[in-house]
Amino acid sequence: MSTLLHVDSSPLYDRSVSRQLTSAFVAQWKASHPGGTVVDRDLNATPIPPITGEWVGAVYTPEEARAPQQKELLSLSDSLLAELEQADEYVFGVPMHNFSVPSTLKLWIDQIVRAGKTFSYEGGIPKGLITGKKATFILATGGNYDAGTQMASLNFVEPYLRSLFGFLGVTDATFLTAGGTMALNYGQDRDAFLAPHLEIVQTYAQAI
């Protein structure tokens, strides 16, 4: 049976476009995978501290030599890594914040990018250790940052996530973007705006 890791990072909850779209994705995925398991990780409900020098020291201390305090420092990271490893597929809800990813998602990333766990260097060559996984990134952007548009060069979300997860070994990555969400603040009907994006997300989730 398949396992889906569902990660949301928007702080807006009921007003969040990315959360509504990931919710639709998960519902369709469940319908298409009877008996499948969904693991939900809400990054705004998960206190994630920034990494520190002590955290880095714990990471590079051999596991068998770690002091109890070092093990405690890495306990959250270990839990997040276990979710990544156990899941067959991932879906991430990612709103664009200041042309990049939300700070909560960056904190999560810093916890799971670990030498010997999610990547390694063999002979000086990087090797991703998270392999055989499929990732879907559902992005919500205030403006339109599609390729060929005037604002395309300011979209650092997709290039960053594609590069990062590719480095970790997740090369089967799909990006579905709901652009222009700012219109919802100026009277755009929410249902009308979401309808085509919901259809795309549900159709994709049904097919995978």
**Ordered structural domains, the chain, with CATH:** 3-207 (3.40.50.360)
Cβ atoms within 10 Å, residue 6: 22
168: alpha, beta or left? (left if phi > 0; alpha if psi -120 to 50): alpha
pLDDT at position 208, please?
87
pLDDT at position 35, please?
93
CA 151, CA 134: separation in Å to the nearest integer?
Answer: 28
CA 131, CA 98: separation in Å to the nearest integer?
Answer: 30
pLDDT at position 88, please?
97
CA 90, CA 84: separation in Å to the nearest integer?
Answer: 8
pLDDT at position 51, please?
96
AA identity, residue 67: A
pLDDT at position 122, please?
85
Q: What is the DSSP letter of 107?
A: H
Per-residue pLDDT tens for 122-161?
888 999 999 999 999 999 999 999 888 999 999 999 999 9
Sheet holding 89-95, edge to edge: 37-42, 3-8, 89-95, 134-141, 172-179
Q: What HEC string does 12-76 produce?
A: CHHHCHHHHHHHHHHHHHHHHCCCCEEEEEECCCCCCCCCCHHHHHHHCCCHHHCCHHHHHHCHH
CA 106, CA 160: separation in Å to the nearest integer?
Answer: 11
Cβ neighbors of 21 (< 8 A, separation 6 or more) are 93, 138, 140, 176, 178, 194, 197, 198, 201
CA-only gyration radius of the chain, Å: 18
Q: What is the pTM of this model?
A: 0.96
Per-residue pLDDT tens for 171-192?
999 999 999 999 999 999 999 9
Low-confidence ranges of the chain (pLDDT < 70): none
